[in-house]
Chains A and B, each alone.
Chain A
Amino acid sequence: MYNSPSSPKKRFVIIGLSLLTVVVLFVVVFLILSSHEGEYKVTLSVMPEDAILSVDEEEILGTEVWVDQGEHTFSAKKDGFDTDYVTRTITADTTVTLLPSPVSDEALTWASQSDISSKLESFGGAKANERGSYITGLNPIISLLPYVDISGPFKIDYGYHGADNTATYLIIHKTTPTGRQNALAWIREQGYDPTQLDIRFTDFENPLLGGVS
């Protein structure tokens, strides 16, 4: 009954335990490597579906990608189409719609098919909504605009600028010197610091800079 260290049974147990240890190590390493802690899932919705997708200029397979918090550029390219680039500051799981524009005859013919055309329209709508929500998230004050105060008197509108037109500026106009101060006071009342916003007084002509005094 006694098993010497070199007995086949003992050797079998040692080999089995070693294999198990290796497997456990592999599983642990796999779990660590595949963990997405501190990352967010970005789902890419793209039309045409066979466009080549990239994140920060690196091609990816599939339509789901995990990225760190921060700014990332997503793109979809396909021959015959203008590549669509979307830059987003990612702070949560999100969906990014990419819609390369058809430019070649072949691509335009493809896009004009009735079923494709209606799909493209729906993608276009989704993309516009997505962009609107993103910009509002970056500049929440614009959800309160335009705002008009007749007694102020002032009107506050907004416009877009920047490389991808996602930065906003506020336009204070249809007003007077007192109205401009009332407009700034209104912005403060809404909980925003006007010093840290891009504010433009479009109907003010600065007397020192050649305006009407």
Chain B
Amino acid sequence: MKKVIIISIATILLGVAVTVLLWPYFTTHQLSIKGDHLQSVSVEYEDESKTYTDLSAVRIPNYGTIALSYTVDSEDYSDGSIVVNGSEAEVTIQPDYSLTKRQEVAKGAYKVVSARLAELYPKINLYSIAPGDVYERGSWYSTTLTYAGDYGLNSDTLRIVAKNDGDSWNLETLPEIFLTTAKYSDIPVGVLQQANKYSN
């Protein structure tokens, strides 16, 4: 009789232990991560965080909103984070350039864009051109033209966006006070929003 009780308790304990061990596999699923220059990904959900260096082993909860923060393997790129839904099975993470890399690319873009503006607009000397910034891994560049003279009815700061075509930078907008998707539908809205925000 005693033996039966011991075996029963052992069986129950084994069942509980197996359930506890396997529970995370019932409530999570594998997340396929595409992207490059990723070193690690941390899954953050309800005050818990788990870091994976093997990106093929990343698992996320089956429900809720999950924050994924990532680190990169190169100084040219920056760490960041994204948010995914628990229902997602695949996600693409493309880390953007680091500040240093952005400044380096923006410097090159600035020279080309400034020269192009001087060619196109004889009155460009009325403005001082800011160093600008690049977006989407150096695909786009925007800068501001600040009026250098006295404040007047038309002394607004102007904005301009250029696109990297591989070898050079092409101006994609006119110098304007504000850039909108209505007028520049070929430029990603995020780039226009950044260009409208940028001031330096």
Write the residues of chain A forming the contact surface with B, with a CB cutoff of 8 angstroms.
Answer: 169, 176-177, 180, 184, 193-199, 201, 203-209, 211-213
Contact B181 A195 (CB under 8 A): yes
Contact A199 B178 (CB under 8 A): yes
Contact A204 B177 (CB under 8 A): yes
A196-B180 contact in complex given A176-B153, A177-B151, A208-B123, C-beta closer than 8 Å: yes
Q: How many interface residues does B have (CB within 8 Å)?
A: 30
* Complex Cα gap A195–B121 (Å): 25
Contact A206 B176 (CB under 8 A): yes
Does B35 have its Cβ within 8 Å of any Cβ on chain A? Answer: no
Closest to B193 in A: A195
Write the residues of chain B forming the contact surface with A, with a CB cutoff of 8 angstroms.
Answer: 121, 123-124, 126-127, 145, 147, 149, 151-158, 174-183, 189, 192-193, 196
Lowest 3 CB-CB distances: which A-B pairs, in order? A198-B182, A177-B156, A208-B121
Closest to B120 in A: A208
* Complex Cα gap A213–B127 (Å): 11
Residue in contact with A207 in the complex, picked from B154, B179, B193, CB distance below 8 Å? B154
* Complex Cα gap A22–B59 (Å): 51
* Complex Cα gap A180–B158 (Å): 12
Contact B181 A208 (CB under 8 A): no
* Complex Cα gap A176–B179 (Å): 18
Closest to A175 in B: B153
A184-B154 contact in complex given A195-B192, A195-B196, A208-B127, C-beta closer than 8 Å: no
Residue in contact with B174 in the complex, picked from A194, A209, A213, CB distance below 8 Å? A209
* Complex Cα gap A213–B192 (Å): 26
Closest to A213 in B: B126
Contact A198 B183 (CB under 8 A): yes
Contacts of B178 in A (CB 8 A): 180, 184, 194-195, 199, 201
Residue in contact with A208 in the complex, picked from B153, B175, B182, CB distance below 8 Å? B175
Contact B123 A207 (CB under 8 A): yes
Contacts of B175 in A (CB 8 A): 206, 208-209
Closest to A193 in B: B193
Closest to B182 in A: A198
Shortest B106–chain A CB gap in Å is 21
Q: In the complex, given contacts A169-B182, A206-B174, A212-B154, what are 7 additional A-B residue pairs having Cβ atoms less than 8 angstroms apart?
A: A177-B151, A177-B156, A194-B178, A195-B196, A196-B181, A199-B180, A205-B154
Shortest A49–chain B CB gap in Å is 40
Shortest B186–chain A CB gap in Å is 14
* Complex Cα gap A197–B192 (Å): 12
Shortest B57–chain A CB gap in Å is 39
Contact A197 B180 (CB under 8 A): yes
Shortest A62–chain B CB gap in Å is 39
Contact B182 A197 (CB under 8 A): yes
A194-B196 contact in complex given A208-B121, A213-B149, C-beta closer than 8 Å: yes
Closest to B145 in A: A208
Contacts of A177 in B (CB 8 A): 147, 151-157
Shortest A15–chain B CB gap in Å is 51
Closest to B183 in A: A198
26 contacts between A and B (CB under 8 A): A169-B182, A177-B147, A177-B156, A180-B178, A193-B193, A194-B178, A194-B180, A195-B181, A195-B189, A196-B182, A197-B180, A199-B178, A201-B177, A201-B178, A206-B175, A207-B147, A207-B154, A208-B124, A208-B126, A208-B127, A208-B145, A208-B175, A209-B174, A209-B175, A211-B154, A213-B149
* Complex Cα gap A16–B175 (Å): 81
Contacts of B145 in A (CB 8 A): 208
* Complex Cα gap A192–B3 (Å): 74
Contacts of A212 in B (CB 8 A): 153-154
Shortest A11–chain B CB gap in Å is 56
Closest to A211 in B: B154
* Complex Cα gap A204–B178 (Å): 12
Shortest B83–chain A CB gap in Å is 20
